[in-house]
Amino acid sequence: MEKITSLENAQVKKWNKLHQKKERDATGLFLVEGKHLIEEALKYHAVELVLYENECPFQNVPTQEVSKPILDKLSSNPSGAEYIGICHLPESIIEKKERLLLLDGIQDPGNLGTLIRTAISFSFDGIYCSKDTCDYLNEKVIRSTQGSIFQIPIIYMDLIDCMNKLKEEGVQVVATTLEHSKTMKEILPQEKMAFVLGNEGRGVSKEILKCADELLRIEMEGFESLNVAVAGGIILYHYRKA
C-alpha cells in the first residue's frame, strides 16, 4: 500500500480515536507501541495491522508504512514509537476458577498493571473488574504490564452479580478490609477462592463487603494499610495454587 504521510488522512484520524475508551469499546480495537509489545500481541494472534516507518521487521501480518509525524501523533510516549500495532483482544472467557482476582474501582493504571502481572505470576485463572475500574486497554496499563494482558482473561461486570455466581459455583469469596476481618493465618486456603481488592481511596465498597464469605486483612506493624498493588502481591502470593 502507498505510504500515508498526511496527518489529516481519514484512517489516521480513526486510529487516533483509539486513545479514547469509548472508541476502543465501540471498535474492539486498541493500540500497542514498540517491538516487544507487538511481538507479544502476535503470539496471541491479536494484531490486525502494524504501522511503521521505512522498514518493518514483522512477518505474516498486514503492515502500513506511515510518516514519522503520524507515528508521533499516535504514540502516547513522549519520545514516540518506532512501530505501532492496531490490535484486537480475543474474547475473554474464564473457564478455570480455582484462583480469581476481583477488582473494585481500581483507578490508577500503574496499580492495575501491577495487579495483572502479579495475578499471572502466581497462576491465577482470571480477573473480574467492576465497571468503574480503569480500562485495562489504557496505554499506561498496557505499557506497565509489558504485554501480559494477553496472558490472562479479564472481564468487566457488576461485581455483586459476579460474586453471587461464583459462590453458587463453590468459590469462596474473600474481600479485603481492616474492619471486622480475619488475618491470613485465620483464613485457610480452599480449593476455589476469589479475592476482592478495593479502590485506592475508599477500599472495597460496603455492598461488596456484605456479599463476601470472609473478610481479610494483612497483619502488619507501623501502618494501617498498604498500597493496593503491594497488598495484592502479598495476598496473591500467600494464597497461590499449591
Answer whether 73's CB lies under 8 Å from 16's CB: yes
Pinpoint the residues of the chain covered by CATH 3.30.1330.30: 10-88
pLDDT of residue 80: 83
Distance CA 233, CA 121 (A): 10
Burial class from Cβ neighbours inside 10 Å (0-12, 13-18, 19+) for residue 193 reads buried
**CA–CA dist 50, 94 (Å, integer):** 29
Per-residue model confidence (pLDDT) at position 44:
92
pLDDT of residue 223: 65
Residues lower than pLDDT 50 in the chain: none
CA–CA distances in Å: residue 194 to residues 8, 160, 181? 48, 13, 16
pLDDT for residue 222? 60
CATH of domain 10-88: 3.30.1330.30
The residues of the chain that CATH labels 3.40.1280.10 are 99-238
Dump pLDDT digits (tens) for 143-202.
Answer: 889 888 999 999 999 999 999 999 999 999 999 999 899 999 999 999 999 999 999 999
With 0-12 / 13-18 / 19 or more C-beta atoms within 10 angstroms meaning exposed / middle / buried, residue 184 is middle
Q: Which fold has domain 99-238?
A: Alpha/beta knot (3.40.1280)
